[in-house]
């Protein structure tokens, strides 16, 4: 275990870096707007899955999703095929936040609490239901219908203030609270029970040659692997971990006191935990770099051409009413009428924030209803 301590710290450091980077990106999005900084939706591979049907049928992306999101989605699938749910165990910032909360919980409660099996087992299937329902509705509505219920979206908007999130996505905020409190008590609460992407990666990664294997002869049955597994997998009594629940985090190996009792294996080849982590990072960052060089890693909309009017469909939530009217070459009074904006709302208000001044105002819905109305001269 001691010899793996540095690898363990490296894993935590990487997870912490991913949390900091995404949190900062989400903050920049609030401050600079969607034209300059990507939204939390554009940065989440799930957006790629939600946009998939539209990409195949029309060649375009759903609102707030870009080529870079599709690239992230594709590369996480490649990671799942090669390394199973390593994205969850080594990269996902939302998974990392839950794990940090679990560590805090274990410090507070002085022990690791485990959900009773009679509740835990059926609840694990819930994420597959979430996967099917969210994807079917996203494909049907061609939009991010789930955003108001999405705890990750709520997290990404925390810098807007709780009042604003409560107005826009109260359910998402409540689920975020349940996830964080749940993780204090039960490690990786959202990953185990609710995450649609975890469900998908688990299925895709099933045939992967990558497995954790236990050597019965070397094992001293101390149970440390079971105590440390964030997904509560019974490592101690398995010879090979092929469960779709395993997030390939390497924690069991890193904590095992007996050298050779637990190993990561690809086929018959034993691969050290550090090598697994490095390989996953190389595939992740290597693919992003390649996509950037190939010009398919856009996470923000293309810059508007100076002087050219945009359509109503291209109006973004980060634009003020005045900017949106000017960009679409519509008179301010006519714009207020077309977008059904109450005259009491100041023209400096951002489109996505009109609902905070005028409760009940639904920018996305009104924009959708104006979709086919040309504002071109
Ligand atoms: S695999 Fe390692 S940690 Fe798990 S029971 Fe055996 S010796 Fe203990
Ligand atoms: S079995 Fe090992 S690699 Fe899999 S989730 Fe548990 S600790 Fe992580």
Q: Is the CB of 243 under 6 A from ligand 2?
A: no
Q: Ligand 1 mean position to 106 CA, how many Å?
A: 21
236-258 pLDDT, tens digit each: 999 999 899 999 999 999 999 99
Q: Is the CB of 212 under 6 A from ligand 1?
A: no
Nearest ligand to the C-alpha of residue 255? 1
Phi, psi of 302, deg, nearest 5: -60, 145
Distances (CA, A) of 25 to 264, 293, 336: 33, 21, 32
CA–CA separation, 118 and 128 (whole Å):
18
Is the CATH number 3.30.70.20 carried by domain 208-273? yes
Give, using CA atoms, the residue closest to atom 3 of ligand 2: 248
Task: Give the list of residues 6+ apart from residue 177 with CB closer than 8 angstroms, or none.
Answer: none
CA–CA separation, 287 and 282 (whole Å):
8
Q: Residues 237, 261: contact at Cβ < 8 Å?
A: no
CA–CA separation, 338 and 355 (whole Å):
16
Q: Is the CB of 252 under 6 A from ligand 2?
A: yes
Give, using CA atoms, the residue closest to atom 8 of ligand 1: 222
52-111 pLDDT, tens digit each: 988 888 888 887 888 999 999 999 999 999 999 999 999 999 999 999 999 999 999 998
**Residue 273 three-state SS:** helix
Q: Is the CB of 259 under 6 A from ligand 1?
A: no
Q: Is the CB of 141 under 6 A from ligand 1?
A: no
Task: Give the list of residues 6+ apart from residue 355 with CB closer than 8 angstroms, or none.
Answer: 167, 168, 361, 362, 363
CA–CA separation, 206 and 257 (whole Å):
28
368-377 pLDDT, tens digit each: 788 666 554 3
Residue 354 in this model has a pLDDT that exceeds 50: yes
* Nearest to 187, CA basis, from 258, 275, 252, 279: 252
Phi, psi of 84, deg, nearest 5: 60, -140
β-strand partners of 214: 262
Q: Is the CB of 244 under 6 A from ligand 2?
A: no
Q: Where are the domains of the chain?
A: 2-203, 208-273, 312-369
DSSP-H helix ranges across 331-371: 332-338, 354-357, 363-369
283-304 pLDDT, tens digit each: 999 999 999 999 999 998 776 6
Q: Which residue has the higher pLDDT, 146 or 3?
A: 146
Mutate to test the pocket of ligand 1, among 261, 263, 264, 273 (most ligand atoms within 8 A of CB): 261
| Whole-number percent of the chain with pLDDT over 90 | 68
Q: Residues 29, 156: contact at Cβ < 8 Å?
A: yes
Edge to edge, what strands does the sheet with 262-266 contain?
A: 240-241, 210-214, 262-266, 269-271
């Amino acid at each position: 275990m001691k010899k793996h301590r540095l690898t363990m710290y490296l894993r935590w450091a990487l997870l912490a870096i991913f949390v900091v980077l995404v949190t900062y990106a989400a903050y920049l999005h609030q401050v600079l707007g969607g034209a300059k900084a990507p939204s939390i939706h554009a940065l989440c591979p799930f957006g790629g899955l939600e946009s998939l049907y539209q990409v195949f049928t029309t060649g375009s992306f759903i609102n707030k999703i870009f080529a870079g999101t599709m690239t992230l989605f594709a590369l996480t699938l490649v990671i799942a095929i090669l390394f199973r749910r390593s994205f969850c165990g080594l990269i996902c910032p939302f998974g990392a936040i839950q794990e940090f909360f679990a560590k805090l919980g274990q410090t507070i409660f002085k022990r690791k609490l485990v959900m009773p099996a009679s509740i835990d087992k059926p609840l694990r299937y819930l994420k597959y239901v979430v996967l099917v329902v969210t994807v079917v509705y996203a494909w049907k509505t061609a939009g991010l219908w789930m955003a108001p219920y999405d705890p990750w979206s709520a997290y990404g908007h925390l810098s807007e203030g709780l009042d604003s999130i409560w107005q826009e996505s109260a359910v998402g905020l409540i689920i975020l609270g349940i996830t964080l409190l749940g993780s204090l008590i039960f490690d990786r609460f959202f990953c185990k029970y609710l995450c649609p992407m975890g469900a998908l990666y688990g299925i895709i990664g099933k045939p992967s040659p990558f497995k954790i294997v236990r050597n019965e002869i070397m094992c001293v049955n101390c149970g440390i692997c079971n105590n440390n597994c964030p997904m509560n997998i019974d490592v101690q009594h398995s010879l090979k971990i092929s469960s779709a629940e395993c997030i390939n985090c390497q924690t069991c190996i890193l904590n095992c006191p007996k050298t050779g009792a637990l190993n990561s294996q690809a086929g018959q080849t034993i691969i050290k935990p550090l090598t697994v982590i490095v390989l996953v990072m190389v595939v992740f960052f290597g693919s992003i770099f390649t996509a950037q060089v190939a010009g398919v890693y856009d996470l923000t909309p293309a810059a508007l051409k100076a002087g050219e009017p945009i359509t109503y469909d291209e109006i973004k939530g980060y634009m003020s009413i005045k900017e949106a009217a000017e960009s679409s070459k519509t008179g301010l009074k006519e714009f207020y009428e077309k977008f059904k904006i109450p005259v009491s709302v100041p023209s400096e208000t951002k489109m996505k924030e009109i609902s905070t001044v005028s409760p009940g105002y639904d920018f996305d819905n009104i924009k959708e209803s104006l979709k086919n109305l040309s504002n071109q001269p």
